[in-house]
Amino acid sequence: MNELLIIADPRLMAERSAWLENLKSERRLSEHTLDAYERDSRQFLTFLTGHLGGPATLKDIEALRPADFRAFLAARRKEGSGARSLGRNLAGLRSLLRYLQKKGLVNAAGANAVRSPKQPKSLPKPLSDNQAITVASNEAQLHEEPWIAARDAAVFTLLYGCGLRISEALDLTGDTLQPGTTALRITGKGNKTRLVPLLPIVVEAVQKYRSICPYHLDSAAPLFRGARGGKLQAAIIQRTMQRMRGAFGLPETATPHALRHSFATHLLAGGGDLRTIQELLGHASLSTTQVYTGVDSSRLLEVYDRAHPRA
The catalytic residue positions are 165, 189, 257, 260, 283, 292
Q: Determine if residue 282 is left, alpha or beta; phi over 0 gives left, psi from -120 to 50 gives alpha, anything else beta.
A: left
The DSSP output letter for 199 is: -
CA distances from 85 to 90, 91, 113, 117, 309 (A): 9, 10, 19, 9, 41
CB 105 within 8 A of CB 239: no
Handedness of CA 210, 212, 217, 219 (dihedral sign): positive
Residues 6+ apart with CB under 8 A from 212: 146, 147, 150
What are the backbone dihedrals phi and psi of residue 20, each rounded to the nearest 5 degrees, phi first? -65, -40
Closest C-alpha among 130, 133, 215, 233 to residue 174: 215
Cα–Cα dist 311/301, whole Å: 10
DSSP letter at 79 equals: T
Q: In this structure, what DSSP letter does residue 223 have?
A: S
Report the alpha-carbon distance of residue 177 to residue 181 in Å, rounded: 6
